[in-house]
Amino acid sequence: MQTSADGFHGFLLATRLRATDDAMGLTAHGTLYKALGRMTEAGLLEAAWEDPAIAEAAGRPRRKLYRVTPDGAIAIASSRASVTLAPFGRTRPAARGLA
């Protein structure tokens, strides 16, 4: 997902998830934002409101911007390493302890 130097906002994330069919129920009303809040509380994301002047110039409400923290980057890498592709593009957890 392309983001600005200031981070990404929830609506952009929801739009991208719906477009790639990776949403897994996260784009339902409020669900994504609850998940973003929990990830922020867990230290995986940092959140900050954008400058009000930017929103005013664009004629829209302010956006809450999220950035992945170093701990979040580790969690992403770990998650990606534990998933393998199954036939037909489905994902499943990687087998552990099996050679």
Q: Domains of the chain (ranges plus CATH)?
A: 8-93 (1.10.10.10)
> Residues 39-54: pLDDT tens digits?
999 999 999 999 999 9
Task: Please state, in angstroms and rounded to a whole number, the distance separating the CA atoms of residues 75 and 71.
Answer: 6
- Integer Cα distance of 47 and 70 in angstroms: 14
pLDDT tens string, the chain, 99 residues long: the values are 444 557 888 888 888 877 776 556 666 667 888 989 999 999 999 999 999 999 999 999 999 999 999 999 999 888 887 765 555 555 555 554 443
Q: What pLDDT shows up at residue 2?
A: 40
What is the pLDDT, as a whole number, of residue 57? 97
Whole-number pLDDT of residue 94 = 53
Distance CA 59, CA 67 (A): 24
User: Residue 3 has what pLDDT?
Assistant: 47
Cα 8 to Cα 12, 30, 45, 73, distances in angstroms: 7, 17, 11, 15
Q: What pTM does this model have?
A: 0.67
Alpha-carbon distance of 23 to 17, in angstroms, equals 5
SS3 state of residue 80: helix
Instruction: Please answer whether residues 8 and 66 qualify as being in contact, where contact means their C-beta atoms are separated by less than 8 angstroms.
Output: yes
Query: What is the residue whose two structure tokens read 């400058």?
Result: 51
